[in-house]
Chain A
């Protein structure tokens, strides 16, 4: 069954490009160019996955997630952006996006990422893995929930390999683990990212008035 996808991006050219590139791999059921357009559209068509630009003219991607998620818990979000700013990307992930890929991603990789997100897995591009490692960088953390605020050595290892450009399959064979185990490590990192109270994440959120 083809995944039903909504595209949200304020650049018409880019929307058309993604539509053409994805071709038959998914069913694009709608597109929107702003937060105001996207929220009612997503609620109405109830897609499997929303491909979401981090920056929109009337707000940021996390505003859409916050508005839609309570009513449509089944909709998965994948952030797609040219933004280089770590805090913007982290903000969208913390709002509930299942992953982040850059707009330079190849079409087949994008289709694969959509499929993975639709199945409930996380999609970490090398750049996102770098951002996350940066945010969770080793350091003495006072107070807080240690389990949520620190990555395990194994999670760190997996993220480092993602950042170095390895695919899940390659990471699995390198670490002598199954792909499923790698996926669960990544999902666990995603969960920590969303629930962590680590000061870097909190500071980013506060600076951008997201708390």
Chain B
């Protein structure tokens, strides 16, 4: 903004200090500025008018007629270098129109209209130019008009595009937040409500919290949809373990090496074994390990509980044991139960692939 910051200088002034002020503002020699003004003064007196305009402008009031004087100086200059009066008028109108449109355009909002007056002024100038110019202006004018339109509408279109992008980003953020909110509501908040209701039952609270933790972790880290236990053996075992945890208030640590498509017999037998351990072993924690090799899939369900004497099993227990063994045998695998009183129990399920 050289004009704004420009003030007349009282140091080394010859007349009003306009030339000295310009020289100081631009950091050039004052003589050079005076030469330029002298040359401009030869161009139909444009330099003199310009000097007066700047003098007026540098007074604190910034009067509107100073701008008129500036325009007049420009017109004199253009006339002096041989451009016809009509063309000068056209150029002046275009310049004034663009200036007005730009002033509006700088703080343009979508809802605020462009300065139609400014545009109309510029358009009128263009018509005057086209009608009255020589052959050269007739060729150049359409390009100049197109450029002028771009100058005026460019910032407006740009702002429009930016605001649309911002809107889209905001909409995506809102949708994501809604998705997370739904998820949190359906799972975490429900669980917290349940926990408050069952605050007097530590085991139930623990199993609720653990199930919720498992679900949340599955969602956060594994990208695996909650409740989808049909995708793999480990996912199915994990879901079965979560069910048993919730039903019986135990903790089940599931480790695995390798994975395979789920096998119903294997998963159900493993679930049965987990349930047995949870009900009869009298421990809080059960270890489950699944290993899928090239030839077979194996699941181990182990507890460090009371164990039992296999020769003296109560009938109901024998039945469950058989259901595990029979199920695996029918599927072509084997089930081995290793236990002794006080020595914990391990159920070993193996199924060829």
**Mask: chain A, 46-87; 1 = CB below 8 Å from B; 0 = not:** 000000000000000000000000000000000000111100
Say what secondary structure dominates the interface of chain B: strand
Are A165 and B293 interface neighbours, CB within 8 A? no
B37 close to chain A: CB less than 8 A: no
Q: Given A125-B255, A163-B257, A166-B302, 20 more contacts at CB 8 Å? A: A84-B217, A84-B221, A102-B253, A104-B251, A125-B253, A126-B287, A127-B253, A129-B255, A130-B256, A130-B257, A134-B256, A134-B258, A137-B258, A138-B293, A138-B294, A160-B291, A163-B255, A163-B289, A165-B287, A165-B304
Closest to A136 in B: B257
Chain B residue contacts of A138, Cβ below 8 A: 293-294
User: If the complex has contacts A104-B251, A164-B346, are A133 and B294 also in contact, measured as CB distance less than 8 A?
Assistant: no
Distance (Å) between the CB of A105 and the closest chain B CB?
10
> What is the count of residue pairs linking A and B with beta-carbon distances less than 8 angstroms?
61
Nearest-CB residue, chain A, relative to B343: A170
Give chain B interface residues in 229-263, CB to chain A under 8 Å: 251, 253-258
A48 CB, nearest partner CB in chain B, Å? 27
Q: How far is the CB of B351 from chain A (nearest CB, A)?
A: 17
Interface on A for B, CB 8 Å cutoff? 82-85, 102, 104, 125-127, 129-131, 133-134, 137-138, 160, 163-166
Inter-chain contact A164/B221, CB cutoff 8 Å: no
Given A160-B291, A165-B287, A126-B257 contact (CB < 8 Å): no
Residue of chain A at shortest CB distance from B346: A164
The residue on B at minimum CB distance from A84 is B221
Q: Which residue of B lies closest to A82 (CB)?
A: B217
* Chain A residues near B289 (CB-CB < 8 A): 126, 130, 160, 163-165
B51 touches A (CB below 8 Å)? no
Residues A104 and B253 in contact, CB atoms below 8 Å apart:
yes
Listed residue (B251, B255, B287, B302) with the most chain A CB atoms within 10 angstroms of its CB: B255
B222 within 8 A of A: yes
How far does the Cβ of B339 sit from chain A's closest Cβ, in whole Å? 14
Q: List 9 A-B contacts (CB under 8 A).
A: A83-B221, A84-B222, A104-B251, A126-B253, A127-B255, A130-B257, A134-B258, A164-B302, A165-B253
**B57 adjacent to chain A (CB < 8 Å):** no
* B102 contacts A by Cβ under 8 Å: no
Give, as a whole number of angstroms, the nearest-CB distance from A79 to chain B: 16
CA distance A166 to B348 in the complex (A): 14
**Chain B positions 264 through 289: 1 when the CB is less than 8 Å from some CB of chain A, otherwise 0:** 00000000000000000000001111
Q: Closest 4 CB pairs between A and B?
A: A165-B287, A130-B255, A133-B257, A126-B255
A112, chain B: closest CB distance, angstroms: 15
Which of A131, A133, A160, A164 lies at the interface centre, i.e. has the most chain B CB atoms within 10 A of its CB?
A: A164
Q: How far is the CB of B293 from chain A (nearest CB, A)?
A: 7
Residues of B within 8 A of A166 (CB): 302
Chain A nearest CB from B63 CB (Å) reads: 60
Q: Return chain A residues, CB-CB under 8 Å to B300.
A: 163-165
A137 to B258, CA, bound (A): 8
Per the bound structure, the CA–CA distance linking A122 and B293 in Å amounts to 26
A84 to B214, CA, bound (A): 10
> Residues of B contacting A127 with CB < 8 Å?
253-255
The docked-state distance in angstroms from the alpha carbon of A33 to that of B288 is: 33
Most buried by A among B210, B253, B289, B304: B289
Q: Is the CB of A85 within 8 A of B221?
A: yes
A134 to B, closest residue via Cβ: B257
List chain A residues, Cβ under 8 A from B222. 84-85
